[in-house]
Structure 1
Amino acid sequence: MIASAVTPPTVPRSVRLGYGVGSFCTSTVNAVPGLLLLYYMTNFLAVPAWLAGVVVTAPKVWDLVINPLVGRWSDRTRSRMGPRRPWLLAGACTLPIAFFLVFAGPPLTGVPAALYVGVCFLATATAYALFEVPYKAMPGEMTHDYHERTSLLQWRMVFVGAGTAISGVLAPILVTGQGEEGTLGSYRLMAATIAVILLLSMFGAFFGTARAPMTGASEGDRGGWREQLAAIRGNRPFLWITVLACTQQLAVSMMLAAAPFFAAYTIGSPKATQTLFAALVGPMLLTMPLWVWLSKRFDKRGAMVLAALLFGGGTALAMATPVFGPLYAHIVILLVGVGIAGVQLLQFSMLADVIAVDAARTGKRRAGVLTGLWTAIESGVSSFGALIFGVILSLGGFVESEPSRPVQQPDSAVTAVLVGQTTVPALIIFASVLITLRYRLTPPGAPARAESG
């Protein structure tokens, strides 16, 4: 059971807003490459689908190394700005440049283009880790209160919704503004615009959290990797929330990679990507107070089960899009958005609970290590979503192309797009419901759930 503080501090509204604005960065960096990079490589750089999937996946595997390192370094950082904010600043100074270069390369195609994008995406992943890991560690250190952490994070999720709207609606608009399929120049314009948004949001988070309270342990854990990993292995709630997040984000990443293909080959219009994303992110902006209330009414685990069922149910229903048409697709994606809103909010709220409990139990500041491992494992596993979808496309006979040489895809490739967007992600999400039942932390005053093997 989660320990309760006698007088839990209240996070000032200005800090909640300042912290939340940083989610423009975290949501955009995940969504834009997840949404556009695979399509950009296969349809503009003539990279085979399987190789494009490898390129999107490989730099994310690097997160398994860099994220825990950044978390450990931030735990041990001592500065007048606190342990986390110097790292936010470092990420703000490097990430926008690296992100822009991913879509602004020399005129290469095929394997050379894949190598260039892979190197730039690796640099992007490194710069992103400098910001993301300390950023995600902060909520568990701002307050002791079980429910206030959810309330704090609803602000973050509102900005996640806004950031996802920017990436899912604005980015495709910029890309397709110069033609139905877009051009290399339109991708560069998109990258430059998103880079400016990243820069502003990251500096906004850095300055906006200057007055953030620090309620966690004052000293970082000085133990070696072996001692820290041994402690984490014994932290069952951390292990289960990590497995849960990996499963859910794997499905999300598959759907992001599949979205432009679904719009182009299932609905029949690449520009439908914009309206589909509007249907997806609308609930993220509007339903956060509802999910906060549900987490109090049914506890976080019960609310997570409901959110995953809505997410998976909407995804499964999208399989009927070829029968019922584009309007039907947008309606079921709206249902998916309601589920994703709850899933995203509750993932981070549960992680913040785990971090707070660990600090209270050990007296050590290990939020960075826990968050670094969590984000590294989650990112590494979820990155396989694009790879899995790329393999599904290849098995379906999808033909790579360039704008100057468009091709007619075989029916098997169109079927592969539908399966990769709906059937496989739905099965993964329904599996996450079973995983949620293994999560054990409860609010103060509630009876602890019995641990099982």
Structure 2
Amino acid sequence: MTQTASAAADRLPFKTKLAFGIGSAAEIIALYSVSSFALLFYNQVLGVQAHWIGIAISASLVFDGLTEPLIGSWSDRTRSRLGRRHPWMFAAPIPIALTLFAIFNPPAGLSPMALAVWCGVAVSLMRQVMTFFHTPHLALGAELSPNYVERSKVMAYHSFFTWAGGAGMTWVALTYFFPSTPEYPRGLLNPEPWTNFALAMSLTIVAVLFASAWFTRDRIPLLPPLAADTKPFTLAEFFADVWKALRNVNYVWLLVGYFFLSMMIGLKEGLRLYTGTFYWGLSSEELRWFVIGSFIGYAAAFAFAARMHGRFDKKATLVWGAVSYALATAAPLGLGLAGVLTPETPNLLAILLAFSALAYGSMSVLQIGAMSALADVADENELRFGVRQEGILYSTRALAAKIDQAIGSALAGFVLLLIAFPEKAKPGAVASDVLHNLALWDGVVAAVPGLIAAVCYGRYRITRASYEATRAALAERRAAAAPMVAPKAGPTPAAAAITPAE
């Protein structure tokens, strides 16, 4: 093993994992604002038909997904004094914040169709610039350590801060921006606070994304260097990169599994606030307590996922994580359809929070395993093709996820149209058959893609033993190649690479 690899294989400093993790929090604040709030804002506050907004958001996802692998490949081939990932990470924060603010501040006087177009364009632009941070940031996480378990710890920080960003944003939004008032008992339906909400989220995003890039820059000398013979980015090299990635059957099964999982997530995120507000009859103050359920789940995953990967292969956590997530999200609505749970059930909120903790914990374990497994796939591809492809691997996976989330978001809009959910509805005034169909879609139907994902993850074949064999073969190859490198006078990139920056 080279000195560079040896240094990187050691336990990463807490500061590095923390700085990497907080970038995920800022990302999810932007993405969650769109996935969970934009549909409700345009439909229930501005009066735009739900399926129009669903189509607008879905179109932005597809367009963004198609460009994400381009950014991944370009990032893999970037040469700069800031390495391959950080130039992109420093460039993204301000454009992300500006476009997020625009989403929730359309010009006054627009027609419903013009509002839908504004939403689609603004969301598309935000997702485009988010890609400049998101893909290099994930690739950086895969490169921070080659260790089988340490990779899972790094991705545990990613998963935990993904929760923290979404949960913190939801808590702050429902507590300080959308509290219940005499005029608006359901604070989310109040049109006044949305501008201040968007401004606060935008400023937070700028600060946190810059901090993530700044406080991980000292690891640049320790990251895997770009091979000297790597060609610059071109479309031809991009398609070659994609082809190499798709020739790895383990990667393909991870990709297909995440495709179905994202369909479930996209549908449920689009319907979540509708279900909580109208089916269960929860107020904004009650909805914010779901942060507690999600915290318990994500904290448990943060504490135990890496230990599980030290004892079991990652495949087991992928399969059972998908099964548990699908069933835990379906169970309360299934009990509601059966008449066991109703809005009048004593301690209903506590029961729903318990299911929420199980669901979020399962999803977090699954996400940590999938992200860590992709880094193992990158090792396989380096052994097979002689190139590291973290950027293309994570971005192609994101392409499948975004196309599928687009399907889920569009489906959420069409579900509301199909079940004839009224615009600007009043809690307690929605017909019972409409609420029954809402629960059926958000509970039973949405769980099916999650179970299909579990079957796909069962086809993943990298084990701890095969990982160790791959790492040993890579170390042997590097050792054999080392004597062939002629020494040069003066400082060299290799010398710089083995000198820790802290």
The whole-number CA distance in structure 2 between the counterparts of 1:253 and 1:84 is 28
Alignment check: 8 A CA contact 2:9 2:146 kept: yes
- The structure 1 residue matched to 2:394, chosen from 371, 376, 382, is 371
State the one-letter code of the partner of 1:434: V
Alignment check: 8 A CA contact 1:44 1:402 kept: no
Tell me which residue corresponds to 1:430: 451
Residue by residue over 1:356-409, the C-alpha shift from the partner in whole angstroms, topping out at 9 and shown as x without a partner, is 332343222422222221212211212221211211111111122389xx9943
Deviation at 1:76, TM superposition (A): 2.0
Q: Which moved more, 1:76-85 or 1:413-422?
A: 413-422
Deviation at 1:337, TM superposition (A): 1.5
Q: For 1:78, what is the secondary structure of its paired residue? A: coil
Deviation at 1:29, TM superposition (A): 2.3
- Structure 1 unaligned regions, length at least 5: 449-453
The whole-number CA distance in structure 2 between the counterparts of 1:445 and 1:234 is 18
TM-score (norm 2): 0.83
State the one-letter code of the partner of 1:237: N
Q: For 2:217, what is the secondary structure of its paired residue? A: coil
Tell me which residue corresponds to 1:50: 51
The whole-number CA distance in structure 2 between the counterparts of 1:150 and 1:32 is 27
Tell me the percent identity: 21
Structure 2 CA distance for partners of 1:218 and 1:273, relative to 1, 3 Å: farther
| 2:131 is equivalent to residue 129 of structure 1 | yes
Structure 2 CA distance for partners of 1:270 and 1:351, relative to 1, 3 Å: farther
State the one-letter code of the partner of 2:340: V
Alignment check: 8 A CA contact 2:34 2:123 kept: no
Deviation at 1:262, TM superposition (A): 0.8
Tell me which residue corresponds to 1:38: 39
When Rg is computed on C-alpha atoms for both structures, the one with the higher figure is: 2
Residue by residue over 1:186-225, the C-alpha shift from the partner in whole angstroms, topping out at 9 and shown as x without a partner, is 1111111111121111011111111223126535555523
Q: Which moved more, 1:166-175 or 1:294-303?
A: 166-175
The whole-number CA distance in structure 1 between the counterparts of 2:57 and 2:244 is 32
The whole-number CA distance in structure 2 between the counterparts of 1:311 and 1:8 is 33
The whole-number CA distance in structure 2 between the counterparts of 1:314 and 1:336 is 5
Tell me which residue corresponds to 1:451: none
Q: How does 1:243-258 map to 2 (within 5 A)?
A: 243-258=256-271
Structure 2 CA distance for partners of 1:447 and 1:138, relative to 1, 3 Å: closer
Alignment check: 8 A CA contact 2:319 2:454 kept: yes
State the one-letter code of the partner of 1:309: V
Alignment check: 8 A CA contact 2:76 2:392 kept: yes
Tell me which residue corresponds to 2:490: none
Structure 2 CA distance for partners of 1:350 and 1:62, relative to 1, 3 Å: same
Alignment check: 8 A CA contact 1:52 1:114 kept: yes
Residue by residue over 1:131-188, the C-alpha shift from the partner in whole angstroms, topping out at 9 and shown as x without a partner, is 1011111122222222211122212222122112123322333442264233222111
Alignment check: 8 A CA contact 2:47 2:424 kept: yes
Tell me which residue corresponds to 2:288: 274
Residue by residue over 1:253-289, the C-alpha shift from the partner in whole angstroms, topping out at 9 and shown as x without a partner, is 2222111101111111241332224312432134312
Structure 2 CA distance for partners of 1:6 and 1:129, relative to 1, 3 Å: closer
- The structure 1 residue matched to 2:215, chosen from 180, 204, 208, is 208
The whole-number CA distance in structure 2 between the counterparts of 1:262 and 1:255 is 9
Deviation at 1:24, TM superposition (A): 0.9
| 2:210 is equivalent to residue 198 of structure 1 | no
The whole-number CA distance in structure 1 between the counterparts of 2:6 and 2:132 is 34
Tell me which residue corresponds to 1:419: 440
CA RMSD of aligned residues (A): 2.3
- The structure 2 residue matched to 1:338, chosen from 341, 350, 361, is 361
State the one-letter code of the partner of 1:17: L
State the one-letter code of the partner of 2:454: V
Structure 2 CA distance for partners of 1:191 and 1:356, relative to 1, 3 Å: farther
Alignment check: 8 A CA contact 2:245 2:381 kept: no
The whole-number CA distance in structure 1 between the counterparts of 2:245 and 2:364 is 28
Tell me which residue corresponds to 1:103: 104
Deviation at 1:416, TM superposition (A): 2.7
State the one-letter code of the partner of 1:400: E
Tell me which residue corresponds to 1:87: 88
- The structure 1 residue matched to 2:462, chosen from 441, 444, 449, is 441
- The structure 1 residue matched to 2:194, chosen from 187, 192, 207, is 187
The whole-number CA distance in structure 1 between the counterparts of 2:435 and 2:262 is 24
State the one-letter code of the partner of 1:318: P
State the one-letter code of the partner of 2:416: L
| 2:324 is equivalent to residue 310 of structure 1 | yes
The whole-number CA distance in structure 2 between the counterparts of 1:311 and 1:445 is 28
The whole-number CA distance in structure 2 between the counterparts of 1:109 and 1:269 is 31
Tell me which residue corresponds to 2:272: 259
Alignment check: 8 A CA contact 2:261 2:450 kept: yes
Q: How many residues align?
A: 442
Deviation at 1:294, TM superposition (A): 1.5
